[in-house]
Amino acid sequence: MIEPVQLPAPWRDARLTVVVPTYNEAGNLPVLVERLLALPLPGLKILVADDNSPDGTGEVADKLAIEHPNRVEVVHRAGKEGLGRAYVDGITRALDGGADYVAQMDADLSHPPEALPGMLGALLSTQAGVVIGSRYVPGGELDENWPLYRRALSGWANLYVHTLLRVRIRDLTAGFKIWRADALRDIGLHRVQSNGYSFQVEMHYLATKLGHTILEVPIRFEERRDGLSKMTTATKIESALMPFKLRSKHRNLER
């Protein structure tokens, strides 16, 4: 586990909301919340967007919200509509709640919470609209326990999307990042079509088309510690088709 960067005031007091979509993450969520709240970021809040998890994740999130009032908030969604819809809902609520910066991360402990202060510092010290915690820039790592087929799928997906969309990001499918609120408002979440994991690609594509600077910093990506991957065949099909839809729909989009 890395040591979090100690940011100077007033950076460490930034109003940062971490949006965490959940579906059957009852075992991982308390660990993630504990690690996030231990960071030297007193302005950090957590917004859990739960898709009515049958394993009781929503109830676990409610208990965490009671234990940490004003720092943990829970959005209970009607059912499993996909990662993209959960993020659109959660990010919209974070912006409406006054967040100046919004982070995205998975609940499965694959993204190191301790990297957030450094990512926030990189955002605040540059003109970037978003900072990505990247597996594929120099210094980035993949857990040695990550299955070979997942490595191959991730590498192929990035190459495939690069070829179709010409977006100059090494980790196009990354799900760990911090956005400036202004960049998110400029992108306009109403434009987002994706339901599944292609949400990540779509957001990067829209940010690029609108001229926002995207910065990648290295992280170590861990294999999930508990539960199962949510990647389904339908999700893979949506991800394969989405670049064609994006290229067509947003062809004339510019700032």
27-56 average pLDDT score = 97
> Model-level pTM greater than 0.85?
yes
Token pair recorded at residue 205: 């594509």
pLDDT value, residue 106: 95
Output 10 or 197, whichever has higher pLDDT: 10
Q: What does the alpha-carbon distance between residue 153 and residue 133 come to, in Å, rounded to a whole number?
A: 19
Residue 124 dihedral angles phi and psi, to the nearest 5°: -75, -20
pLDDT band at residue 227, thresholds of 50, 70 and 90?
low
Comparing CA positions, the residue from 77, 65, 132, 71 lying closest to residue 99 is 71
Q: Report the chain's mean pLDDT, rounded to a whole number.
A: 88
Comparing CA positions, the residue from 175, 238, 180, 242 lying closest to residue 212 is 180
pLDDT of 136 > 60? The answer is yes
| Region 11-250: CATH code | 3.90.550.10
134-163 average pLDDT score = 76
Residue boundaries of the structural domains of the chain: 11-250
pLDDT band at residue 229, thresholds of 50, 70 and 90?
low
pLDDT of 13 > 60? The answer is yes
128-136 average pLDDT score = 96
In Å, how far are 147, 189, 227 from 144, measured between CA atoms? 8, 35, 18
Per DSSP, the three-state class of 75 is strand
pLDDT band at residue 255, thresholds of 50, 70 and 90?
low
